[in-house]
Chain A
Amino acid sequence: MQIFQSDLLCIGAGLAGERVAVAAAEAGFSTICLTLVPPRRSHSSAAQGGMQAALGNSIMGEGDCPDIHFTDTVKGSDWGCDQEVARLFAENAPIAMREMAFYGCPWSRVVPGEHTYYKGGKPFKAVEKEENWGLIHSRAFGGTAKWRTCYTADGTGHAVLFTLDNRLVQLGVDMHDRVQAEALIHDGDRCMGCIARDLRTGELRAYFARATLIATGGYGRIYKATTNAIICDGGGQICALETGMVPLGNMEAIQFHPTGTVPTDILVTEGCRGDGGTLLDVNLYRFMPDYEPEKAELASRDVVSRRMTEHMRKGLGVKSPYGDHLWLDIRHLGEKHITTNLREVYDICNNFLGVNPIHQLIPVRPTQHYSMGGVRTNKDGAAYGLKGLYAAGEAACWDMHGFNRLGGNSLAETVVAGRIVGAKVVEYLQGDDNTVFSTAAMRDAAARVQERIDILVSGRNGRENCYAVRDAMQEVMMEHVGIFRNGKDLQAGVDKLQALLERSQHIGLQGRNMGFSPELSMALRVPGMIKLALCSAYGALMRTESRGAHAREDYPERNDRDWLNRTLATWSEGATLPTLSYEDASPYFELPPGDRGYGGGKIIPGDIPADKIRPFGKAEQQEAK
């Protein structure tokens, strides 16, 4: 077995992983990145919208500051976030954006003069200031008091990812692409790297590292309908969970987007509805005003998604070979509007659906979009439970998003958290001179992975088809752990997933390849994905309240008295359910729990002890005084 050694091992090379790698490499530490695909193909590249940072250069962002960004983020999280982390994020976001500009990101810039912008589907005029010429511009996103989202035309993720990857090439960071991490190497106290599979040859490799970072993105692929790339299978979270000692945080916090297209689940923007698009059912009837007389299609993401699901459950969805869906109608907006203001939507419909939205209806359904949960870390990005293990980006539960993240905050998190966690990893590496790696721990981890491979190849435990088991899991998640949740359905979902976990022990390969086998990649992942699904389902079952994206029909109130906390899930060897425990949502509150100002819903107030309340605004600095 080939053995590699480095100071830092980054599992995942999207924006978060690369930003941490840059920090370590700049400090002179040897760094290896493992990635399933060449780094520039990471799912970070698909984010089109932008990154929130309170630069306040645009006229609609005037007067913006980290305090306001912090407030929006906390409200967005439905008070589920760690406020110390949200504060760190808001304060550092503008620096991270400027840093990307320095490295070459072609941010869209302020153009002085009068411009036409759209809000709520209506055009209005605004004048950009002369003195702000050429500074980083920002656009509007949902749930924010200011226009705060920095962007590069319609390809922000792509532009920032390429900028950052250029920096990695410059620094000579080792990039091992087509490598899949299968298990962490640890001795119960310290993480020492991982065992990985070379996806070119199928061979196992060992990576020893003084610090290991998990930055593998979300776990959207536990759902059938997800906007996530096919590589977003939760590989990093699975590796952490399998240690038995590293907890995952808030795995039940999952965001859905109302308008994923069918069949490929590619997102079409909220702007369609913002500009006046409507949702129709199988009878071409506009149903949203019946449920939401006031806001109709323009209610919040969660509400619209829930109503769509409710309507399809009544049998009023459109049947298709890919499952039920509804229609999005933008025909009445006219050719000119669709080919200019909604050009991206026009292209997606034509290129991927073969639908011309000027004359035809767009097939849509609520689609899994973002994983708020992940590897639980402290504010430095250090995972709980194992020394030397870190996580950042969507893979982590750092936790600035709580139970709902705002658009533009996740993409920003990658480089902001990457910057902060990167500095902390460097501190750790500077303070830790432990270069002794346990070959026993490595052999143990490798033997376990090899044993699993042997079982799958030989069919010793059975010949269950991994794709069939995965499909069944995805169906359960859509049906039972979707947008609307209730105790009865969740319990049924947990039961089904437990049965699937048992079934997954009998997976055997259907085909046989010398070298690399794509089927083996999936077969190795499926049991872990079912465990992640169980963490989500069981966490959702036990959380008897509604908060952010977690909406319980049987417990519609946000319950700050009993549930102002974060779920932590660990997995003991041989168990069929995760072990859940809870910790306070936030070490202190600059912004005590209150009304979000949107979404409605009742709140059961909690008692916040006086010593947990901090004065608003730069709490850390005040503490220093």
Chain B
Amino acid sequence: MRKLNIDVFRYNPLDPESKPHMQTFVLDETPSMTLFIALTQIRETIDPTLMFDFCCRAGICGSCGMVINGRPGLACSTQTKDLPDHIVLQPLPFFKLLGDLSVDTGTWFRQAWERIESWIHTDKTFDPNEEEERMDNELANEIFELDRCIECGCCVAACGTALMRKDFLGATSINRLARFYIDPRDHRTEEDFYEIIGDDNGVFGCMGLLACEDVCPKKIPLQDQLGIMRRMTALQSVRGIVPKFLLDRLSPRRCGCSCSEQHND
């Protein structure tokens, strides 16, 4: 088994004495070792002050996004055997640094969901005695496919626009909105969606570098969703100029309730 040299970014913003630096820890590699196991070992046997975030340690909760040898990814599902014996770990950029490898994703995501109003918009009220609204299973699967985002923040950390434009919503938010766009339970119109993401902090800020999709640990088709939402908002931006029937024909929105009608009017 190899000896691993793990270089970890260290900085405690609450400590006036602390200066950002790299610290090297040496560990014996064990079978099936992941970065979760390695970092936990470092904290519990070498340096108890080391800050990092893990929760489910199973690639489900999105807590442990960090930059691993230069690339954002989930530490819990990264095995040391897939890395060279020199490993460099840094916190995700873009998010507020809390200390060492720990960043504040919670605050950022909450404000993003408030900005894009990440919920079903409807005038209906829930009736406990009524049968559920029916839905085609294929559509349910398509919605879930986009809902699989675990909000690890890797896509935003890898995003060129986000690094330059601090209010950029990022691929995760555009994907989240795309999820509501195809959900017939959400009664927002294309105009509503345009108001939310039809600017430089939304779909038009994207430079098309597409690192977001490259680093997404859940392999969500972020590129497609950006394309769909950009096309929809671009069409909205010329409403009043291009005739409505033409806009409707070009609109990418799909109706999920098998009624063969457009849903956005």
Contact = CB atoms under 8 A, between A and B. Distances in A.
Interface in A508-524: 509-519
B118 A169 contact: yes
B260 interface: no
B214 interface: no
Given A169-B113, A516-B99, A517-B49, A264 B144 contact: no
Contact of B12 (A46, A166, A353, A513): A513
A407 interface: no
B54 A266 contact: no
A513 B49 contact: yes
A449 interface: no
Interface in A14-70: 37-43, 45-46
Interface stretch (B86-94, B103-111, B232-240, B247-255): B103-111
B15 A41 contact: no
Contacts of A510: 48
A555 interface: no
Contacts of B51: 513, 516, 518
Contacts of A110: 137
Contacts of A178: 98, 104, 106
Contacts of A202: 14
Contacts of B98: 178, 200, 516
A268 to B, nearest CB: 11
A264 B57 contact: yes
Contacts of A169: 110, 113-114, 118-119
Given A175-B110, A263-B37, A515-B15, A41 B62 contact: yes
Nearest to B144: A106
Interface string B119-135: 11000101010111111
A518 B56 contact: no
Contacts of B63: 37, 41
Interface in A164-178: 166-167, 169-170, 175, 177-178
A98 B63 CA distance: 30
Interface string B166-199: 0000000000000010010110000000000000
Main secondary structure of the interface of A (DSSP, over half): loop
A503 interface: no
A134 B257 CA distance: 9
A616 interface: no
A185 to B, nearest CB: 25
B8 to A, nearest CB: 14
Contacts of B105: 38
Contacts of B61: 37, 40-43, 45-46, 229
A35 B45 CA distance: 27
A95 B130 CA distance: 9
B150 interface: yes
Given A104-B183, A263-B37, A515-B15, A45 B56 contact: yes
A107 interface: yes
B23 to A, nearest CB: 13
A46 B119 contact: no
Contacts of A136: 132
A162 interface: yes
Nearest to A37: B55
A323 to B, nearest CB: 12
Interface residues of A, number: 73
A200 B186 CA distance: 36
Nearest to B180: A104
A509 B130 CA distance: 57
Contacts of B150: 40, 45, 158
Contacts of A363: 32
Contacts of B34: 264, 352
A597 to B, nearest CB: 32
Contact of A95 (B99, B128, B133): B128
Given A37-B53, A45-B56, A135-B134, A321 B31 contact: yes
A515 B12 contact: yes
B188 to A, nearest CB: 12
Contacts of B33: 263
Contacts of B30: 263, 321-322
B60 A46 contact: yes
Contact of B59 (A111, A201, A352): A352
Contacts of A321: 30-31
Contacts of A153: 141, 144
Contacts of B58: 46, 264, 266, 348, 352
A37 B106 contact: yes
A365 interface: no
A561 to B, nearest CB: 42
A354 interface: yes
A514 B12 contact: yes
A108 interface: yes
B48 A104 contact: no
A109 B62 CA distance: 27
Contacts of A516: 14, 51, 98-99
Interface in A336-382: 348, 351-355, 363
Contacts of A98: 126, 128, 130-132
Given A41-B55, A354-B81, A166 B119 contact: yes
A133 B124 CA distance: 22
A98 B24 CA distance: 53
Contact of A43 (B49, B56, B59, B137): B56
B55 A133 contact: no
Contacts of B117: 170
A516 B126 CA distance: 43
A454 interface: no
A320 interface: yes
Contact of A159 (B76, B144, B180): B144
Interface in A86-107: 95, 97-99, 101-104, 106-107
Contact of A166 (B62, B118, B136): B118
A19 to B, nearest CB: 13
Given A354-B79, A509-B48, A40 B151 contact: yes
Contacts of A200: 98, 104
Given A46-B56, A104-B183, A177-B106, 4 more contacts: A99-B128, A102-B124, A467-B45, A514-B14
Q: Which 8 A-B pairs have the closest CB atoms?
A: A134-B134, A515-B14, A38-B106, A514-B15, A511-B48, A519-B48, A511-B49, A109-B137
23 contacts: A45-B60, A102-B133, A103-B126, A104-B183, A104-B185, A107-B140, A108-B141, A109-B136, A136-B132, A153-B144, A159-B144, A166-B118, A178-B98, A231-B55, A264-B37, A322-B30, A351-B79, A352-B76, A352-B77, A354-B79, A513-B51, A516-B98, A518-B51
